[in-house]
Amino acid sequence: MSPGLFITIEGGEGVGKTTLISGLRHYFSDTGVPVLFTREPGGSARAEALRNVLLSEFDAENDMTVETEALIISAARSDHVAHTVLPALKEGRHVVCDRFADSTRAYQGHAIDSQKLESIIEFSTHGLRPDITLLLDGDPEKLLTRRVARDGAKDRFEVRGLAFHDAVRKRFLKVADQFPSRISVINAEESPSEVLKSAIAFIEKKLATHKSTAVLN
């Protein structure tokens, strides 16, 4: 049995990850392919507890440091990968994860030395890297407005200023430039059906290669 594919969904606030994941649930259900859907931070009991700590109310005057954010996320990720993601992949199931290491690069990468950050990521992921990353990209101002109109409440990342979200977007796109073979940049301002269509096209292209490799092995 060949291991499953690890698919990550990335992007800034309000890009429509939840909507895309809902569409992918239907897509994989129709194909009959066994898939585990999970998220970060979270995805295991201990990681979900750490998620609650991370997404606690933002305090502009006495907030946790970026280093603290990165370490909490990394601790959650280590548990999530070890107890949820790797077992599913070894069983031959595909795993679709809402956020992974690219989010750490985009959200905390501005304040932590890149070599240190990559060391933390490598340690926390147990060396696991995505096979496919779908990066939803769009104007942060438009997307944040859309998110707030839909959900109302904001978490500690969403309440930060537009300059922060613009910078996060730029860092995501920089990561996409570094890993073009695994990352597909999708226009999040298009309709949900078009976003899903683009995502499925990229996934199916990678699945074809994955099946060919499995046959050869």
DSSP per-residue codes, 50-81: HHHHHTSPP-SSSPPPHHHHHHHHHHHHHHHI
Residues in binding site for ATP: 11-18
Place of tokens 């990066």: 135
Q: 208: which residues sit within 8 A by CB, 6+ positions away?
A: none
Half-sphere exposure of 51 (CA within 13 A, CB side): 16
**What residue has token string 């060391």?**
119
Binding residues: 11-18
